[in-house]
Amino acid sequence: MANPQPQVPVPQLPQLPPNYPRRFDPQAQLPARLQLRIDRWLNDPPESQFQAYGPVDGYFHAKFPSPFFLIKPQAYLSPVSDLPQGMLLLSRRRADHNATSAGVGVTDNRTYPDFTICQFFGADADGTAADMIRVVHEIGSTPADRRRIYRQLEGYLHSITPMRFDGWLLGVAQIQNEVFLMKNATLNTADFAPVFPTWISLFDQRGSAVAVTRQTGLKKPRESIDTGTK
Q: Measured on CA atoms in the order 112, 117, 119, 124, is the torsion positive or negative?
A: positive
Using alpha carbons, select from 173, 95, 170, 110 the residue that is nearest to residue 140.
173
Q: Give the percent of the chain with pLDDT over 90.
A: 30
Confidence (pTM): 0.74
Q: Of the candidates 84, 180, 94, which has an alpha carbon nearest to the alpha carbon of residue 132?
A: 94
Residues 213-225 pLDDT 10s: 455 455 554 443 3
Mean pLDDT of 97-121: 61
Compute the distance between CA of residue 22 and CA of residue 203 in angstroms, rounded to an integer. 10
What's the pLDDT at 86?
36
Helix (H) or strand (E) holding 173: strand 170-175
Decide if pLDDT at 60 tops 90.
yes
More confident residue, 37 or 9: 37
Question: In this model, does residue 14 exceed pLDDT 80?
Answer: no
What does the pLDDT look like over 176-201, one tens digit per residue?
A: 999 999 988 766 566 788 888 899 99
pLDDT reported for residue 155: 87
Residue 105 has pLDDT above 60, yes or no: no
pLDDT at 200: 93
Selection from 158, 162, 206, 159 nearest residue 180 by Cα: 206
Report for 12-21, 37-46, 158-167: range of highest mean pLDDT:
37-46
The type of residue at 146 is R
pLDDT at 169 exceeding the cut of 80:
yes
Alpha-carbon distance of 43 to 200, in angstroms, equals 15
CA angle 210, 98, 175 (to 5 degrees): 40
